[in-house]
Chain A
Amino acid sequence: MDYGIKLSYTTAIILQALANGYQYGFDIIDVTGLPSGTVYPALRRFEEVGLCDSRWEADDVAEREQRSPRRYYELTKDGRAALAEALKRYRALENFFVGAKKPKPSNA
Chain B
Amino acid sequence: MLDHNKQRPTSLPRRLVAFIGVIVPRRFRARFRREWEAELEYREELLARWDRLDWRSKLELQWRSLGAFWDALWLQRQRWEDEMIQDLRYGVRMLLKHPGFTTIAVITLALGIGANTAIFSVVNAVLLRPLPYQEPERLIRLWESNPGRGWPEFSASALNFEDWRKQQTVCEQLAAYEFATFNLTGGGEPERAAALGVTANLFPTLGTPPALGRNFLPEEEQAGRHRVAILSDGLWRRRFGADPQLIGRQVQLSGENYTVVGVMPPRFQLTPGAELWTPLVLDAALAPWHANRSHHSIHVIGRLKPGVSLAQAQAAMDILARQLEQQYPKSNAGWGVRMRAFYDWLVPEQVRRSALALFAAVGFVLLIACANVANLTLARAATRRRELAIRAAMGAGWTRVMRQLLTESLLLATLGGLAGALLARWGVELIKAGASFNIPRLNETRIDLRALGFTLIVSLLTGLIFGLAPAWQASKLNLNGTLKEGGRGGDSRRGLRGALVVGEVALALVLLLSAGLMIRSFANLQNAPLGFTPENVLVMQINLPGSKYGEKAQRVDFYNQLLERLRAAPGVVDAAAVTQLPLFSGASWAQEITVEGREAAPSDAKLSARTFAATPRYFQTMGIPLLQGRDFTEQDGGDGPLNLIVSESFARRFWPNENPLGKRFRTGAFDLFGTVVGVVANVRNVSLESEGGPAFYFSHGRIGMPALTVVARTVAPPETMTAALRAQAHSLDRDLPVYNVRTLDQLVYNAAGQPRFQTTLLSLFSVVALLLAAIGVYGVMAYAVTQRAHEIGVRMALGAQPRDALRLVVRQGMTLSLIGVAIGLALAFGLTRFIRGLLYQVSATDALTFAIIPLLLVGVTLLACYVPARRATKVAPLLALRGE
A contacts, CB < 8 Å to B: 24-26, 29, 35-41, 44-45, 57, 59, 62-63, 65-71
CA A29 to CA B645, docked complex, whole Å: 108
Closest 6 CB pairs of A and B: A36-B67, A37-B70, A40-B71, A41-B74, A68-B38, A71-B35
Tell me if B68 counts as interface (CB < 8 A to partner A).
yes
> Would you give 15 A-B contacts (Cβ < 8 Å), ordered by A?
A26-B43, A35-B64, A36-B64, A36-B68, A40-B74, A41-B71, A41-B74, A44-B75, A45-B74, A67-B4, A67-B38, A67-B41, A67-B45, A70-B39, A71-B31
Nearest-neighbor residue (CB-CB) of A40 within chain B: B71
Nearest CB on B from A7, distance (A): 19
Contact B70 A70 (CB under 8 A): no
Contact B67 A70 (CB under 8 A): no
Contact B70 A59 (CB under 8 A): no
Residues from 487 to 537 in B contacting A, C-beta threshold 8 Å: none
CA A62 to CA B71, docked complex, whole Å: 24
- Partner of B67 from the list A40, A57, A67 (CB cut-off 8 Å) is A40
Contact B74 A69 (CB under 8 A): no
CA A67 to CA B66, docked complex, whole Å: 21
- Partner of B68 from the list A40, A45, A57 (CB cut-off 8 Å) is A40
Residues of B within 8 A of A67 (CB): 4, 38, 41-42, 45
A37/B66 contact (C-beta < 8 A), A44-B74, A44-B75 known:
yes
CA A44 to CA B74, docked complex, whole Å: 8
Main secondary structure of the interface of B (DSSP, over half): helix
CA A28 to CA B71, docked complex, whole Å: 15
Nearest CB on B from A14, distance (A): 13
CA A38 to CA B640, docked complex, whole Å: 109
- Partner of A69 from the list B1, B67, B69, B71 (CB cut-off 8 Å) is B1
Tell me if B5 counts as interface (CB < 8 A to partner A).
yes
CA A68 to CA B66, docked complex, whole Å: 20
CA A40 to CA B41, docked complex, whole Å: 17
Contact A44 B71 (CB under 8 A): yes
Residues of A within 8 A of B66 (CB): 36-37
Residue total for B at the interface (Cβ-Cβ under 8 A): 26
Interface centre among A44, A45, A57, A63 (most CB of B within 10 A): A44
Contact A25 B39 (CB under 8 A): yes
CA A69 to CA B35, docked complex, whole Å: 8
CA A71 to CA B35, docked complex, whole Å: 6
Using a Cβ cutoff of 8 Å, how many contacts connect chains A and B?
72
Nearest CB on B from A55, distance (A): 11
Known: A36-B63, A70-B35, A71-B38. 8 other contacts (CB 8 A): A26-B43, A36-B64, A36-B65, A36-B71, A37-B66, A44-B75, A68-B37, A70-B42
Main secondary structure of the interface of A (DSSP, over half): helix
Contact B38 A35 (CB under 8 A): no
Interface centre among B37, B69, B71 (most CB of A within 10 A): B71
Tell me if B848 counts as interface (CB < 8 A to partner A).
no
Interface membership of chain B positions 74-112, coded 1 if the CB is closer than 8 angstroms to chain A and 0 otherwise? 110000000000000000000000000000000000000
B contacts, CB < 8 Å to A: 1-2, 4-5, 31, 34-35, 37-39, 41-43, 45, 63-71, 73-75
Residues of A within 8 A of B64 (CB): 26, 29, 35-36
Nearest-neighbor residue (CB-CB) of A25 within chain B: B39
Residues of A within 8 A of B42 (CB): 24, 26, 67, 70
Contact B75 A69 (CB under 8 A): no
Contact A40 B43 (CB under 8 A): no
- Partner of A70 from the list B38, B63, B65 (CB cut-off 8 Å) is B38
Contact A63 B2 (CB under 8 A): yes
- Partner of A68 from the list B41, B63, B65 (CB cut-off 8 Å) is B41
CA A65 to CA B2, docked complex, whole Å: 13
Contact B70 A36 (CB under 8 A): yes
CA A63 to CA B35, docked complex, whole Å: 16
Nearest CB on A from B838, distance (A): 58
Interface centre among B1, B37, B45 (most CB of A within 10 A): B1
Contact B4 A68 (CB under 8 A): yes
Nearest CB on A from B62, distance (A): 11
Contact A37 B69 (CB under 8 A): yes
Nearest-neighbor residue (CB-CB) of A42 within chain B: B74
CA A32 to CA B66, docked complex, whole Å: 18
Residues of A within 8 A of B63 (CB): 36
Nearest CB on B from A65, distance (A): 7
CA A62 to CA B80, docked complex, whole Å: 35
Nearest-neighbor residue (CB-CB) of B4 within chain A: A68
Residues of A within 8 A of B65 (CB): 36
- Partner of A40 from the list B2, B4, B70 (CB cut-off 8 Å) is B70
CA A36 to CA B66, docked complex, whole Å: 8
Nearest CB on A from B5, distance (A): 7
Interface centre among A29, A36, A41, A63 (most CB of B within 10 A): A36
Residues of B within 8 A of A38 (CB): 67, 70
CA A62 to CA B7, docked complex, whole Å: 14
Interface centre among A59, A67, A70 (most CB of B within 10 A): A67
CA A40 to CA B69, docked complex, whole Å: 10
CA A36 to CA B65, docked complex, whole Å: 8
Contact B69 A59 (CB under 8 A): no
